[in-house]
Structure formats: C-alpha cells, structure tokens
C-alpha cells in the first residue's frame, strides 16, 4: 500500500492515490508527495542511469563553492519562535481567560454582582494585549511550518483570531463607555452578551482547528 504525506501539515495517507483534500489541514491533493523508502529510491535512481552515457566529471578544485545565504536576524528570531512554541503558549492566555470573562459577565447580569463584571473586564484587558502576540506568532508558524498554505483551515483560524481581537476590544471600550450595560434594564444588554458569545465561539473554533493540526485526527 502506498503512503502519501501532506507537505503542509505532515498528515500521512495510505492508498493507491492521495486524497482529494487533506482531512487535517484542507490542502488539495497536489500538496501530497509519495513516501518512498531508501531501497525504492535507489532502484529508481539506478533505473534512470543510462549505461551508455559517460559519467559526469567530478567538480574540480577550482570550481566555485556555493554557500547558503546566512539567515537574517529576523529569520533567526522567527525560527526560535517556532522552535520554542511561542504561538501555542501565547494562545493559552485568551483561551483560558475568555470563557471565564463571558461566564462572569453572564453571572454579573443575572445576579447584579458588579465584582464579577469588574473581574471579567480586567480579564478582557489581558486578552486585548495578548492578541497581537497570538496573531503575529500564528502567522510566523503558518509561514515557516506550514509553508504559508492558504487552505480553508488556516483561513478560518485567521478569521477567528481577527474576530476575537475585534470583539474583545469592542467589549472593553463598551464597558468603559457604558458601565451600566450589564443592568437587566439596559437596552443594550442583549447585544453586549451576544458579542460575548460570538467572541467565545470564535476562540473555541480557532482552538479546535489548532488542536486538529497538532493531533491530526
């Protein structure tokens, strides 16, 4: 049975042909390459050699040597970010704080407990300041580890990240401009809570897709 590897996410498929779409990252079949063992590779290489063709002369001592271009300072930083998992570490901040913030806002609206609304507000401030690093490190991982492939999965993750950033900023600004928005008599309470749900849904979706990439199932 042949094996095919997705060059975007590394998913391994077994079959005579690669799948139409990668079940993990959504890349099309053109991104799959067949996995060939060393023995098979040697056989193919030997078969391609024309016995009548003279051997190519070895490169002389005077031949110019090519050296790879040294990595730029930024490339080194980006590689270190990928190597030391800056994105999955940073993304735990909004993933951990957002559910608590939404729950606290809901409880504050129901039980009229301002302490919970204040706690939710401060949690959201942390989220707002964390999201630039989350988004930036996510783009670096996408470019360096997944070759910048624009599949449905990565596009959805980017949209979700933008939604989380935007809605978190809206909620923080709204809380400052209208401290009484969580009052049951407030005309904007429903809209405020709806934005909370949208923000949480986007964070959950992005986390689910990220986990799908990591665990590949």
The CB density around residue 5, as the number of other CB atoms within 10 Å, is 16
Residue 35: left (phi > 0), alpha (psi -120 to 50), or beta?
Answer: beta
Distances, alpha carbon 44 to alpha carbons 1, 48, 177, in Å: 18, 6, 70
pLDDT at residue 75, as a whole number? 85
pLDDT tens column, 145-196: 998 999 999 999 999 999 999 999 999 999 999 989 988 888 999 999 999 9
Q: Which of 34, 31, 33, 21 is nearest to 149 (CA)?
A: 31
pLDDT mean for each 10 residues of the chain (217 residues): 90 91 91 80 55 49 55 83 91 93 94 91 95 95 91 94 97 94 89 96 94 81
Radius of gyration of the chain from Cα atoms? 26
Type and span of the H or E element at 175 = helix 152-177
28: β partners: 21
Q: What would the DSSP string read from start to end of 105-130?
A: HHHHHHH--HHHHHHHHHHHHHHHHH
Give the global pTM: 0.79
Distance of alpha carbon 214 from alpha carbon 217, whole angstroms: 9
């Amino acid at each position: 049975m042949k094996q095919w590897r997705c060059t975007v996410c590394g998913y391994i498929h077994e079959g005579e042909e690669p799948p139409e779409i990668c079940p993990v990252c959504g890349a099309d079949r053109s991104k799959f390459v067949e996995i060939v063992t060393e023995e098979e590779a040697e056989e193919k290489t030997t078969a391609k050699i024309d016995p009548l063709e003279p051997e190519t002369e070895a490169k002389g001592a005077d031949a110019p040597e090519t050296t790879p271009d040294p990595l730029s300072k930024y490339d080194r930083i980006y590689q270190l970010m990928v190597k030391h998992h800056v994105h999955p570490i940073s993304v735990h901040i909004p993933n951990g704080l957002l559910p608590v913030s939404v729950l606290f806002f809901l409880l504050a609206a129901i039980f009229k407990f301002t302490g919970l609304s204040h706690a939710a507000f401060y949690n959201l401030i942390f989220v707002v300041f964390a999201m630039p690093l989350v988004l930036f490190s996510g783009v670096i991982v996408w470019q360096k580890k997944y070759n910048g492939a624009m599949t449905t999965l990565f596009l959805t993750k980017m949209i979700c990240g933008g939604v989380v950033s935007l809605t978190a900023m809206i909620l923080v600004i709204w809380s400052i401009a209208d401290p009484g928005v969580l009052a049951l008599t407030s005309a904007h309470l429903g809209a405020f809570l709806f934005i909370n749900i949208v923000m949480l849904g986007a964070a959950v979706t992005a986390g689910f897709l990220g986990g799908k990439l990591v665990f590949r199932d």
